[in-house]
Structure 1
Amino acid sequence: MHDTTTTPPEIGPGLQAARKARRLTLEQLAQMSGVSRSMLSQIERGEANPTFAVLWNLTQALGIEFSELIAGSSVLHKPAIGVMSAEQTPEIVSGNGACRLRILSPMQTAGESEWYAVEMAAGGTLVSAPHQAGAVEHFTALSGAFSVRSGREERSVAAGETARYPADVDHAIANVSGEVGQGILVLLYR
């Protein structure tokens, strides 16, 4: 016989561990999340089953993911080294498929700093419109040969070399070799 009953995850221990790890009182978390102190206390003791909206408010106030809230005491032991698999790494592919950018930077740094692994087909070009004022790009060629253009200036970049240039003007990176080229692109906003 198949048991169809399931036990919901215990939210209380995770909530309490996350709150205490941040040295917050019930009152402080109540103010931050908009969830009443009495409801927080009931959730921590396992006497209340919170709605999705309540869980959302709590995770936002604590700056954690739902999975961390459900994980209980493991919230206190977040690994120092996070690893993102190749399948989880977002990528951008140009319309013609000649250029692939794998986004290596965490999403929370977008608009401050971004870095990408670049793979470009022979003869491929990555053309970019100006970024915000003061933006600078750093392109390091790992293999192949490239040409980098920023505004009206253009320079050759061989494997192992790094070009640093204004990115608040029209700019482009072109693979001028006869093979697939690879590089690292870092964009810094000022």
Structure 2
Amino acid sequence: MQEQIHKKIGKNLQDIRKSRSLSLDAVAELSGVSKGMLGQIERGESNPTISVLWKIVNGLRISFATLMEDASPQVSVVAMEETTPLVEEEGAYRAFPIFPFEQDRGFEVYSVLIEPGTSHQSEAHYEGVEEFIMVMDGELRVEVGGESYTLKPTLAMRFSADQPHTYTNDTDKTIRYVTLIHYPSANR
């Protein structure tokens, strides 16, 4: 059975308030909505008007939809073979979006396969973007900032991705690595 909207709003409001370590008094001060009304909303005892919701979202500086979204699952299990890869270099470079970008998280995670003898050049991302690479199988050569770095399974790398960078497999075996791309909060 689908949760009633006012109960969903109440739970989301309470989760946001607690995640920010705010008291009901603090949210009342930020939003102009009384502490009593906020408590009723959080407990699902009140079905707030749109104008009350606008006061809350403006006070907390969140989107209107944030109060009505379904909660994210506590556990997500992703099977790489069930994702559709981004394919480059005629299929020799495949990036599987394991955890695609979500606005509130600010990052995305890919599992990448590069076939032997393949090189893939990535354009510069916007300023402040960072990449984190962890090699799982094989030996990956990364060129960034005029330098070349060789990564094996015991090594990891972080770099500013706001410059062109290249991933190369100089070996005769497929490379598998995981990359996390972090986007700066100022741009979220």
> Normalising by structure 2, what TM-score?
0.62
1:171 aligns with 2:165: yes
5+ unaligned residues in a row in structure 1: which ranges? 1-9, 34-57, 65-74
Pick one of 145, 151, 159 that aligns with 1:157: 151
SS of the counterpart of 1:18?
helix
The amino acid that maps onto 1:159 is: P
1:62 aligns with 2:68: yes
1:134 aligns with 2:128: yes
5+ unaligned residues in a row in structure 2: which ranges? 13-41, 55-63
| Superposed displacement of residue 187, structure 1 | 1.7
Give the equivalent residue in structure 2 for 1:27.
Answer: 48
Give the equivalent residue in structure 1 for 2:8.
Answer: 18
CA shift in 2, pair 1:17/1:85, >3 Å? farther
| Superposed displacement of residue 88, structure 1 | 5.0
Give distance in 2, aligned partners of 1:145 and 1:101. 17
Aligned ranges 1:6-155 → 2 under 5 Å: 14-22=4-12, 23=42, 25-28=46-49, 31-32=52-53, 61-64=67-70, 80-86=74-80, 89-109=83-103, 112-155=106-149
Give distance in 1, aligned partners of 2:94 and 2:77. 21
1:189 aligns with 2:179: no
User: What's the RMSD between the two structures over aligned residues?
Assistant: 3.0
The amino acid that maps onto 1:123 is: G
| Superposed displacement of residue 155, structure 1 | 1.6
CA contact (8 A) 1:117 1:185 kept: yes
CA contact (8 A) 1:120 1:181 kept: yes
SS of the counterpart of 1:130?
coil
Moved over 6 A (4+): none
Q: Aligned residues, how many?
A: 144
Give the equivalent residue in structure 2 for 1:43.
Answer: none
Give distance in 2, aligned partners of 1:142 and 1:81. 23
| Superposed displacement of residue 95, structure 1 | 4.7
Q: Deviations over 1:76-105 (max 9, x none)?
A: xx7522334446534311151011111122
Give distance in 2, aligned partners of 1:120 and 1:170. 18
CA contact (8 A) 1:111 1:189 kept: no
SS of the counterpart of 2:91?
coil
CA shift in 2, pair 1:17/1:166, >3 Å? closer
